[in-house]
Chains A and B, each alone.
Chain A
Amino acid sequence: MDPQLTLYLIQALNGLQLGLLMFLLAAGLTLTFGIMDLVNLAHGSLYMMGAYFAATFISLTDSFLLGALLALIASLVLGIAVEVIVMRRLYRRDHLDHVLATFGLILFFNELVRAFWGPAGLTIAVPSWLAHSVQLMPGVIYSAYRLAIIAVGLLVALFLAWLVTRTRTGMWIRAGASNRTMIGALGVNVQLLFTLVFGLGSVLAALAGLMAAPIVTVQIGMGDNILILAFVIIVIGGIGSIKGAFIAAMTVGMIDTFGRAFLPELLKLFLSNSAASTAAPALSSMMIYLLMAGILVWRPTGLFGARS
């Protein structure tokens, strides 16, 4: 197989894997923003807590799957607790109060982790049954663990699509994203729906965090940078739309990966070597923001936004 084509294929897989990870994070964010009209900056903290829970449970149980499952349950409980204790008091307030309160939560969780797990960070080893690489096609060798992330991400995406389009809960969610007051008037238990959506969002964030953990390390503030990307994704996709979040996450994942991979070579065509390799990382991290700006000019509510 042509080596250049192989490289494109592997980079596409890398982009897909990054995109799916981002989708898990963005899905919860877009639901809470769209349905509950809540700006939740602390979504990244739930991502971090998922990773810390997983690191702890995996070392306790000596099993990746069991540890991950326990971590997801713990994150669900944590998410519901945060909703009941903090978020419930914020719904009637304006966005600035949301930002202040959830920013406070970020600081709270970062300090909590520092006090409980220490400042140094933890590592999760890739489970031994995934710690190898797989030959997908002649010449296309790919990490089994990253393939597993792709598989889990796609399964969750399918589950969410089914949940949102085929179930009664999903109907409420879609209705809530379009007109919150109306579904309350129609007799849907909005309180319960909110708790459910927030809990679901927390589990998705935790899943993203624990799957990313063996690649990056588990550390304080690991969710803070990635949260910004997640916000870009939900703005591009349209707030409240799972479909939008999926398409935007894929686009962002691909652009980020291909930008990092091919921009240096592209820039070298008309810049000096050192200027190109310095400018390329900066430019590639700018590209997604340029995309967001472009899309907002074209469609102010994002690709699939229910409302502005």
Chain B
Amino acid sequence: MKIKMLAAASALALLSAPAVAQDKAVKIGFITTLSGPQAIIGNDMKNSVELALDHLGRKMGGLPVEVIYEDDSFKPDVGKQKSEKLVQQDKVNFVSGYIWSNVLLASLKSVTDDGDTILVGANAGPSQIAGELCNKNFFTTSWQNDQTTMAMGEKLNKAGVKKVYLMAPNYAAGKDMLAGVRRSYKGEVMGEDLTKWPDQLDFSAELAKIQAAKPDAVFVFYPGAAGVQFLTQYSQAGLKGKIPLYTAFTIDATTLPQQKDLALGVLGAQTWVNDLPNDANKKFVADFKKKHGTYPSFYGQQSYDAIMLINSAVVGLKGDLSNKDKIRAELKKANFTSTRGPFKFNTNNFPIQNVYIQETVKDSDGNLTLKTVETIMTDFKDPYHEKCPMK
């Protein structure tokens, strides 16, 4: 028996020998926003990536890991430039990150057409990449934009909302989010406003229209710092408490410290909430809190999952990253324990997953945090995978 084990071990050592002999590192480029008001998101993602690396002992399949962070400055052109730099100059194995759908859409081809690099998205989920632009070199550990808001549309149906008013910023994600609500919501959409992104910060004209339209509920998508401005102005206009507000990606651990009590009583749809009762998540949340003193946000959780997914592929191939087909096949297996529990890839490399409804509550220390109140969708697929030619 012992001899057999020894033989197996030496066979393993032989197999992994080429990779070790190359004495290479796993290089990961990570694009996020690290300057400006939206840097609170980028920092949360960076902290979570670092935590994932800590948990992995800074090694994947025996190889050291090097992560190069780049700041997209919240601009598609800068994001594309930085992606090209990571692919061509740094020659990374994987590019991950991407908060914004418009930045991801601008950068997609620079990464996936290279042939040597695989993109593992950690947030943005534009419908184009889930559908006709789907790519064998693109995976994501987040969601497809419509997936989350379709769940919210279902929640609006359940809550008996007859007339709703929709608002979002006028860019790729904003349009997807509202399309998602419209897809599943059965009541009447009284009005829809797309506001200029990212420079319109004053929503007075739109809020006045909502006040006049008197809908049963309002649905909005205002990510990051814009969510702080929206909730503040919603309350200043006297709408808070009068017209119930439903959201997606507007209230999270990065914005709560500034939104404070304005976030109480506002429901949101999310594919992960910090209180999900699985072991991987408990460890992630507890260690994040220990290290940074705050709750991680969903942006951070998805970044953590992205690193764990990459790790699963590197470990599965015992550190041999020379064959792209094998890397893709390993990634597709999603052979890792996601912090959100059940996680599978669909044909378009977007996750099949649950969607939850979250609410803002106070924790035992009196800090604001988010709590799961309902599982609204189970093993939910985005609607665009049928348009994706990949099987």
Do A and B truly interact?
yes
User: Does the CB pair B211–A219 fall under 8 Å?
Assistant: no
Residues of A within 8 A of B211 (CB): 7, 10, 141
B24 at interface by CB-CB < 8 Å: no
Residues of A within 8 A of B195 (CB): 260, 281
User: Does the CB pair A219–B208 fall under 8 Å?
Assistant: no
Residues of B within 8 A of A6 (CB): 212
| Minimum CB distance partner of A134 in chain B | B238
Q: Which of B225-274 contact A (CB under 8 A)?
A: 225, 228-229, 232-233, 236-238, 258
User: Does the CB pair A120–B208 fall under 8 Å?
Assistant: no
For the complex, count residues of A whose C-beta is within 8 A of B. 44
Grouping DSSP codes into helix (H, G, I), strand (E, B) and loop, the A interface class, with mixed when no group exceeds half, is helix
| Minimum CB distance partner of B175 in chain A | A278
A261 at interface by CB-CB < 8 Å: yes
User: Could you name 10 residue pairs across A and B whose Cβ atoms are closer than 8 Å?
Assistant: A6-B212, A7-B209, A11-B205, A121-B225, A123-B258, A126-B232, A143-B237, A145-B236, A212-B202, A281-B195
User: Does the CB pair A146–B204 fall under 8 Å?
Assistant: yes
Do A257 and B205 contact each other (CB < 8 Å), given the known contacts A6-B212, A141-B238, A216-B229?
yes
User: Does the CB pair A133–B238 fall under 8 Å?
Assistant: yes
- Expressed in whole angstroms, the minimum distance between the Cβ of A208 and any Cβ of chain B is 13
- Expressed in whole angstroms, the minimum distance between the Cβ of B122 and any Cβ of chain A is 20
User: Does the CB pair B34–A119 fall under 8 Å?
Assistant: yes
Do A215 and B36 contact each other (CB < 8 Å), given the known contacts A6-B212, A10-B211?
no
Give the distance in Å from the alpha carbon of A4 to the alpha carbon of B34 in the complex: 44
Give the distance in Å from the alpha carbon of A169 to the alpha carbon of B225 in the complex: 43
Give the distance in Å from the alpha carbon of A18 to the alpha carbon of B37 in the complex: 23
Residues of B within 8 A of A274 (CB): 175
Q: Which of A269-289 contact B (CB under 8 A)?
A: 273-274, 277-278, 280-282, 285
User: Does the CB pair B202–A143 fall under 8 Å?
Assistant: no
- Expressed in whole angstroms, the minimum distance between the Cβ of B57 and any Cβ of chain A is 31
| Minimum CB distance partner of A285 in chain B | B196
Give the distance in Å from the alpha carbon of A121 to the alpha carbon of B37 in the complex: 5
Do A281 and B205 contact each other (CB < 8 Å), given the known contacts A145-B236, A217-B37, A219-B36?
no
B17 at interface by CB-CB < 8 Å: no
Q: Which of B175-222 contact A (CB under 8 A)?
A: 175, 192-196, 199-202, 204-206, 208-209, 211-212
A241 at interface by CB-CB < 8 Å: no
User: Does the CB pair A143–B194 fall under 8 Å?
Assistant: no
- With most chain B CB atoms within 10 A of its CB, the pick from A6, A131, A215 is A215
Residues of B within 8 A of A308 (CB): none
For the complex, count residues of B whose C-beta is within 8 A of A. 34
Residues of A within 8 A of B196 (CB): 281, 285
Residues of B within 8 A of A17 (CB): 204
User: Does the CB pair B208–A14 fall under 8 Å?
Assistant: yes
Q: For the A-B complex with A121-B36, A141-B211, A264-B193 known, give 8 more contacts whose Cβ atoms are closer than 8 Å.
A: A7-B212, A119-B36, A120-B37, A146-B236, A219-B225, A281-B170, A281-B194, A281-B200
- Expressed in whole angstroms, the minimum distance between the Cβ of B307 and any Cβ of chain A is 24
Chain B positions 1 through 41: 1 when the CB is less than 8 Å from some CB of chain A, otherwise 0: 00000000000000000000000000000000011110110
User: Does the CB pair A131–B37 fall under 8 Å?
Assistant: no
Give the distance in Å from the alpha carbon of A219 to the alpha carbon of B193 in the complex: 25
Residues of A within 8 A of B (CB): 3-4, 6-7, 10-11, 14, 17-18, 114, 119-121, 123, 126, 131-133, 141, 143, 145-146, 212, 214-217, 219-221, 225, 257-258, 260-261, 264, 273-274, 277-278, 280-282, 285
User: Does the CB pair B37–A126 fall under 8 Å?
Assistant: no
Give the distance in Å from the alpha carbon of A14 to the alpha carbon of B212 in the complex: 14
Q: Which of B65-99 contact A (CB under 8 A)?
A: none
Residues of A within 8 A of B36 (CB): 119, 121, 219-221
Partner of A143 from the list B40, B175, B193, B236 (CB cut-off 8 Å) is B236
Do A131 and B225 contact each other (CB < 8 Å), given the known contacts A121-B36, A277-B192?
no
Residues of A within 8 A of B212 (CB): 3-4, 6-7, 10
User: Does the CB pair A215–B232 fall under 8 Å?
Assistant: yes
User: Does the CB pair A215–B37 fall under 8 Å?
Assistant: no
- Expressed in whole angstroms, the minimum distance between the Cβ of B209 and any Cβ of chain A is 6
Partner of A215 from the list B40, B193, B206, B229 (CB cut-off 8 Å) is B229
Give the distance in Å from the alpha carbon of A251 to the alpha carbon of B316 in the complex: 65
Residues of B within 8 A of A121 (CB): 36-37, 225
Do A261 and B205 contact each other (CB < 8 Å), given the known contacts A277-B192, A281-B170?
yes
| Minimum CB distance partner of B178 in chain A | A277
User: Does the CB pair A131–B206 fall under 8 Å?
Assistant: no
- Expressed in whole angstroms, the minimum distance between the Cβ of A253 and any Cβ of chain B is 11
Give the distance in Å from the alpha carbon of A131 to the alpha carbon of B262 in the complex: 12
| Minimum CB distance partner of B34 in chain A | A119
Give the distance in Å from the alpha carbon of A261 to the alpha carbon of B204 in the complex: 9
User: Does the CB pair A14–B37 fall under 8 Å?
Assistant: no
Residues of B within 8 A of A120 (CB): 37, 39-40, 43
| Minimum CB distance partner of B208 in chain A | A10
